[in-house]
A and B are shown apart, each in its own frame.
Chain A
Amino acid sequence: MASTHTEAGAARVVAPSEIYVVPARCTGCRSCEMACAVEHSQSKSLYGAITETPPPRRRIYVEAVDTVAVPVACRHCDEAFCANACITGAIRRDARGFVMLDESRCIGCNSCIMLCPFGVIQKDEARHVAVKCDLCPDLPGPACVAACPTDALRFEEAGDFARARRKATATVGAAAGAPAGPA
């Protein structure tokens, strides 16, 4: 019931921050995927996670485009297709504007998977529920971002990111002007 009342805010709240990807910095190491799966495991440890049944699922996807790797993460969209499509009330925006999936309400109908243009909701067939990014509510920030060794993932406010990008572009050598990742 935690998410039940959250759309009740008087004014419309848009997600303040989101996971941004800098594709040029990604080496395809999949540390983000691993950290995501571990954070969403029962044991929350790497060695525990790999022996769990059913195995834990990641919610960020490093996709290959030719020889380039590109992480794709949930945008927590304002007018979220997945939330509009959800026929059970499992997917709703919370008070912060983040789009959350309550697995206890999910019946695994795949409507959200049919709608998401980013392909970042997938089915956990073992548990018959959809799984999506929850931005790691038990951590200070998303596990994928913290795990990225090359700073290809950032969890930032839209405004900060746009400023950082402009600065990076203006500086010769992207690394010199790259913004620091979140603490």
Chain B
Amino acid sequence: MTRQYVILGASAAGIGASARLRELDPESVITVIGEEPHYAYYRPLLPYLRDGRKTLGDIAFWPEEWYAEQRVRLILGARGHRIEPDRKVVELDDGRRFDYDALLLAVGAASRIPDTPGIDAVGVYPLRTVTDAEAIAARARAALAAGGDGGAHAVLLGSGLVSLKAAEPLMNLGIRCTFVVASGHPLSRVVDARVGEMVAERLRERGARLLFGREVAAVTHGVDGSVSGVTLDTGESLDCDLVIVGKGVAPNLEVAQASELACHRGVRAGTYLETASPDVYAAGDCVETMDVVTGGQQVAALWTNAVSMAHIAAHNMVHGPVRRFPGVIGTMNSGVIAGLPIVALGLTDPVGDRYESLVMVDRAAGSIGGDGASGNGGVSDGATARAFRKLVFDGDRLVGAIFAGRVDRAGVYRSFIETGLPLGPTLRSAAEEGRLTYADVQMRGQKPPYSNFVAA
């Protein structure tokens, strides 16, 4: 019998699941319903789109014809879905109804916008969608064209990865950037103060101004409703042409709430990514899942988590709840910030006696965390100038790590954080010396975290 799959959400999780469903069930009917008017795109590439370095076509997930080839029925610009689990029907707010045998809730997350007075002024944007990126680009061009005495100026609320990545193309365009940061250092949810200061130093070298321990109390605007500046909680005022809001994201819970599915910070999903309703699964940034490091519940909105969840949920939509999602590492970030490569994993700055943190800093070229035990065989490994590595242990278990400058083989360390397998003394000393490789794991570990053909 031909099965019908409906997917709510048409981004990383939704489209990832549709591709896997087609592989697993070639004859099925697959319908994907998305809110944005655009074909799915690589959201983390939005800063490049704004930059003019890439077009919407360049950042598209698949070309338009892929959907027809895959026989994926795509409905875009649709809103207000409501699931009727008893009837196994989804209804859109225009009255269209779709039957399903299995459904995936993959509606994602939206930018968190603080309720600061004046935040709805023209020229204040988050960076989450193509629409946001295009608005920022237009505003930046206009500000540069107007070119007042001090040139164009942008204020960024927060200094998380989104703010930092949003600032990069603005700085490239010659727009001055000021970060207003509540915490004491950049990326405070991701790295410790020491690496934060390395990032701050690099940003300052690029002409950015960073204000720590401060918040924007109000956004000011002219009579035309267009942003003119911000007032800080210290009373200080800053003139600006553009404000970017980088205060994180929050799961989209409207559909789940309208459908009476259990939600906390995100949609509740079990080990098989199943929800409380039969044959309704959830994946991606809307889901609250287990943090394998802390054991707590966490919304870990991250591209790779969304894709991994989507593949597992698709499998379970076809075969029933058989494949488990192991959970996420709550902090798992990678990026190149102002030229500095950073990988941050797990508990990067924990408080408490039970944790042991080891920090290694090296000013010589690439001798930490780099090529490890290998010689270079006559070819370059492209070392950068300075490397920093931090490992956090809870007894014999590695529970956190930061790599900055050199990130080679970070995944070998990550596999231990994810699986919680103890390192043992030999692997631990290799890790501490920055020369842990998979060969060590294979030859010395009692049981490697991963072997060939990893199946989640």
Residue of B nearest to A61 (CB): B374
B66–A5 contact, CB under 8 A?
A: yes
Known: A79-B454, A114-B410, A118-B412. A87 touches B303 (CB 8 A): yes
Contact residue among A12, A63, A75, A111 (Cβ-Cβ distance under 8 Å from B374): A63
Q: Report Cα–Cα, A9/B24, bound state, in Å.
A: 10
The yes or no answer to A178 lying at the interface (CB within 8 A) is no
Q: How many B residues touch A, CB cutoff 8 Å?
A: 63
A119–B48 contact, CB under 8 A?
A: no
Q: Report Cα–Cα, A12/B444, bound state, in Å.
A: 34
A55–B379 contact, CB under 8 A?
A: yes
Contact residue among A61, A75, A121 (Cβ-Cβ distance under 8 Å from B437): A61
Known: A8-B70, A58-B379. A114 touches B332 (CB 8 A): yes
B438–A72 contact, CB under 8 A?
A: yes
Q: Report Cα–Cα, A4/B410, bound state, in Å.
A: 28
The yes or no answer to A23 lying at the interface (CB within 8 A) is yes
Chain A residues with CB below 8 A from B381, complex form: 57, 122
Known: A5-B66, A77-B454, A119-B438. A110 touches B61 (CB 8 A): no
Question: Beta-carbon contacts of B301-315 to A below 8 Å, as 1s and 0s?
Answer: 001100110010000
Q: Report Cα–Cα, A123/B336, bound state, in Å.
A: 12
The yes or no answer to A126 lying at the interface (CB within 8 A) is yes
Chain A residues with CB below 8 A from B308, complex form: 79, 84
Q: Report Cα–Cα, A30/B377, bound state, in Å.
A: 7
Q: Report Cα–Cα, A166/B395, bound state, in Å.
A: 39
Q: Report Cα–Cα, A58/B380, bound state, in Å.
A: 9
A119–B26 contact, CB under 8 A?
A: no
B407–A4 contact, CB under 8 A?
A: no
Contact residue among B26, B61, B336, B411 (Cβ-Cβ distance under 8 Å from A11): B26
The yes or no answer to B85 lying at the interface (CB within 8 A) is no
Q: Report Cα–Cα, A80/B19, bound state, in Å.
A: 15
Q: Report Cα–Cα, A29/B438, bound state, in Å.
A: 19
Would you give the shortest CB distance from B69 to chain A, in whole angstroms? Answer: 5
B411–A64 contact, CB under 8 A?
A: no
Residue of B nearest to A18 (CB): B452
Known: A84-B308, A88-B45. A79 touches B411 (CB 8 A): no
Q: Report Cα–Cα, A126/B379, bound state, in Å.
A: 12
Q: Report Cα–Cα, A50/B443, bound state, in Å.
A: 32
Contact residue among B307, B377, B443 (Cβ-Cβ distance under 8 Å from A84): B307
Known: A18-B452, A63-B440, A113-B411. A58 touches B334 (CB 8 A): no
Q: Report Cα–Cα, A122/B376, bound state, in Å.
A: 13
Chain B residues with CB below 8 A from A81, complex form: 304, 411, 454
The yes or no answer to A95 lying at the interface (CB within 8 A) is no
Q: Report Cα–Cα, A109/B42, bound state, in Å.
A: 13
Chain B residues with CB below 8 A from A122, complex form: 381, 408-409
Chain B residues with CB below 8 A from A119, complex form: 408-409, 411-412, 437-438
Question: Beta-carbon contacts of A96-134 to B below 8 Å, as 1s and 0s?
Answer: 000000000001111101111111111111100000000
Chain B residues with CB below 8 A from A77, complex form: 452-454
A57–B374 contact, CB under 8 A?
A: no
The yes or no answer to B321 lying at the interface (CB within 8 A) is no
The yes or no answer to A56 lying at the interface (CB within 8 A) is yes
B438–A114 contact, CB under 8 A?
A: no
A79–B375 contact, CB under 8 A?
A: no
B345–A65 contact, CB under 8 A?
A: no
Chain B residues with CB below 8 A from A118, complex form: 411-412, 438, 450
Sample 21 A-B pairs with CB under 8 A, ordered by A number.
Answer: A5-B66, A8-B69, A14-B453, A54-B380, A70-B439, A72-B439, A81-B304, A84-B304, A85-B304, A109-B44, A110-B334, A110-B335, A113-B411, A114-B411, A117-B414, A118-B412, A119-B412, A122-B409, A123-B407, A125-B384, A126-B382
Task: Show the binding face of A for B, using Cβ within 8 Å.
Answer: 1, 4-5, 7-12, 14, 18, 23, 30, 33-34, 37, 49-50, 54-58, 61-65, 68, 70, 72, 75, 77-81, 84-85, 87-89, 107-111, 113-126
Q: Which 7 A-B pairs have the closest CB atoms?
A: A125-B382, A119-B409, A63-B439, A117-B415, A70-B439, A33-B377, A85-B304
